[in-house]
Structure 1
Amino acid sequence: MQAWVWSTAITTLIAAAMLYPGWNLRRALKRPMPLEFRAILRRNIPIYSRMAPPLQQQLHKLVQQFLHQKKFVGCEGQHVDDEVRVTIAGLACLLLLNRPSKVYPGLHAVLVYPTAFLVPRKHVDEAGVVTETRQDLLGESWGDGRVVLSWDHVRRGAQDWTDGQNVVLHEFAHQLDSESGSNNGAPYLGSQESYRSWSQVLSRHFEDLRADAMFHHQSVLDHYGASSPAEFFAVATETFFEKPWQLSERHPALFDEFAKYYRVDPREWQDAPAPEPYVEPGYGQWR
C-alpha cells in the first residue's frame, strides 16, 4: 500500500512537471545558487564582485533560469562542465539586469567549440556566380534558436574587462536585437518615442563609425561595428559594458541610450581610467 502511494505521488509530480513547466522552473529558482557557481562568477567575471548585492542576487536568479532552460552542447571535443555553463550564462545574463525581460525566449541551445570554428559561407557576385568559402568565427548568433561560441575566446573576453571585446556580450546582443522581429540594430524598446530617440542617436554614431573606419581613425568602438546596424548595436553593447567611461566621455548621447535600454551604469563597477593625453586630430587618434 505504501509503495503504491509513493508511486502515485511520483507519477503526479512527473505529470505536473510535464504539464506545467513554469512550476518546475519556480521550484528551481527557489533554490539558492550553489556556492561553487558563485565562485565561478567571481573567478571568471571580474565586475561581479564589484556589483551591489541586489544586482548579484538578480544575476543569480537569471543564471539559474538560463541554466534550467537552455541546452549546452560541446562540439569538436569541447567538454561542457559547470565552469563553461555558468561563465557563459553569467555573461549573457548581464544584459538582462533590471529589465522586465524573459531570459532569451527564442534561444534553445548554446553550442561551444574549444576555439575558433569554421562555418560555410556562400557569396553571390553581381554576375550571379556563387562562391563557397569557409570562415573562421569566434561566435555567431543563429536565427534558429542557437548561439555558437568559442570557449577559448569566451575566457579571453571575460578575463580582460577593459578591451571592449567580449564574444558572449556581442552574440547575446544579437539575440536581444532579434526579439523585435529582425536583426536591424533596434531591439524591442517599448514606445514610439524610445524608437525615435534610438534611431536618431544610433544612426548618427553609426555613420561616424563608418567614417572612422574608412579613414582609419581610431575609435572607442571597434570598426567591425561599421559593417551594419546590427553589428553596430552588438559592438556598442560590448563597449558599453567593458569601456563605459570612454564611451560616456567620447559619445555621451550614445552612452545614455544604452544606459536607458540596459538600465545599468557599468561605470559603477569600474574605476575611471586615467585621462589620455590630447593629440591633434588627423593623426589616427580621437577626432
Structure 2
Amino acid sequence: MPILLLTFLTLVVLASVFLPSVWRQHRRNRIQQQPFPASWRQILKRRMPYFRALPADLQLQLKKLIQVFVVEKQFVGCAGLVVTDEMKVTIAAQACLLLLNKPLHYYPKLQQILIYPGAFVVPAKQADAAGVVSESTQVHLGQSWQSGQIVLSWVDTLQSAAICNDGHNLVIHEFAHQLDQLKGLATGAPLLSNKAAYQEWSQVLSFEFEQLQRQLALGVPTLFDAYAATNPAEFFAVISEVFFEQAELFATQHPALYQQLKSFYALDPLSWQHTHPVLS
C-alpha cells in the first residue's frame, strides 16, 4: 500500500476516534457556560435538601453536571406520566452526586431514564430444581439495565430526595449499578484505577459482605439494609446509598469500607456533613 494512502487512512481512523470526543467536550463546555436556570435552582431548593449540605465548590460542580446530564439523557414517561423539568432536575441532581470530581464522565452507556408514576410490575421467569420454568410478575421501584436504560418510580425518587439522611436513596442505588455496569455485568467491583486497587477493594468488600451475611443470620442489627446481602452488586449499590446519606455512622462502624468508597468516589461526605448537616 502506498505510504501516502496509508497515512491518509491512518488520519481518517484517528479523526473518527478523536473528533467525536473533542466535539462532545466542546458542546458540554458550551452547555456549562450557560447560566443555571432560576427555575431549576428553585427545584433544587424545594426537592433536594442534600444540595444545601454540599460545599459551595461542589454545589457549582453539581449544577454544571446537571446541565449536561439533562441535555444528553432522554427522559421517558411511562404509564401515562408526562415528564417535566422538575422530574429531570430532581433525578439528575441525585444521579450526578456520583459524578462529582469525575471529569468527562456522564454515565457513557446510559441513554434513557424511564419514569413510572410509582412502583411498576415486570415479568419474571424462574426455574425450579427440576428445571421447570414458571412465569410470574415482580414489583420494582427501580432497575438499572446494562443495555443503557434506568427505570425509576417517580414517587420513590421524590421520597429519596426529600429524606436524605436515612441511608436509602433509590436514584443513588440504581446509578451505582450503572457505574458497576460500565465494564459489563454488575459484579460489585466498578472500574478502578489499577490492579492493586482491585485487590484491596476485593479484600475489604468481600470481608464486609460476608460479615453482613453472618450478622443477618444471627439477627444482629446492621447499618446496611438486608438487601445488601443479596449479592456483591447489590452490596455495592446499598453501601453507596449509606455512604452519601449516613457518612458519620458509616465511617465509624465500617472505617475500612468507608475508605474504599471515599477513594472510588473521590469524595468525603463526612467532611461536609460535619459542617453542614444534611437535613430531612
- CA deviations over 1:184-240 (Å, ceiling 9, x no partner): 000001111111111110000000111122222210011101000000000000010
1:26 Cα offset (Å): 3.2
1:39 Cα offset (Å): 1.8
1:25 Cα offset (Å): 3.3
Alignment partner of 1:115 is 2:114: no
Give the aligned residue type for 2:189: A
- CA deviations over 1:1-54 (Å, ceiling 9, x no partner): xxxxxxxxxxxxxxxx9x955544332222121111122122222121121111
Using structure 2 for the length normalisation, give the TM-score. Answer: 0.87
Alignment partners' CA distance in 2, 1:187 and 1:127: 35
Give the aligned residue type for 2:234: E
Alignment partner of 1:73 is 2:76: yes
Q: How does 1:1-287 map to 2 (within 5 A)?
A: 20-271=23-274
- CA deviations over 1:92-149 (Å, ceiling 9, x no partner): 0000111235100000000000000001110011211111111110000011100000
Quick one: percent identity of the two aligned structures? 45
Partner of 1:105, secondary structure, is: coil
Alignment partners' CA distance in 2, 1:150 and 1:212: 31
Q: 1:20 to 1:100 in 2, by over 3 A?
A: closer
Equivalent residues, number: 255
8 Å contact kept, 2:78–2:116: yes
2:7 matched residue in structure 1: none
Q: 1:30 to 1:145 in 2, by over 3 A?
A: same
Q: Which has the higher contact order (CA 8 A, sep 6+)?
A: 2
Using structure 1 for the length normalisation, give the TM-score. Answer: 0.85
Any gaps of 5 or more consecutive residues in structure 1?
Answer: 1-16, 273-287
- CA deviations over 1:157-200 (Å, ceiling 9, x no partner): 11111211100000000000011232100000111111111111
Alignment partners' CA distance in 1, 2:110 and 2:213: 31
- What value does the CA root-mean-square deviation take over the aligned residues? 1.7
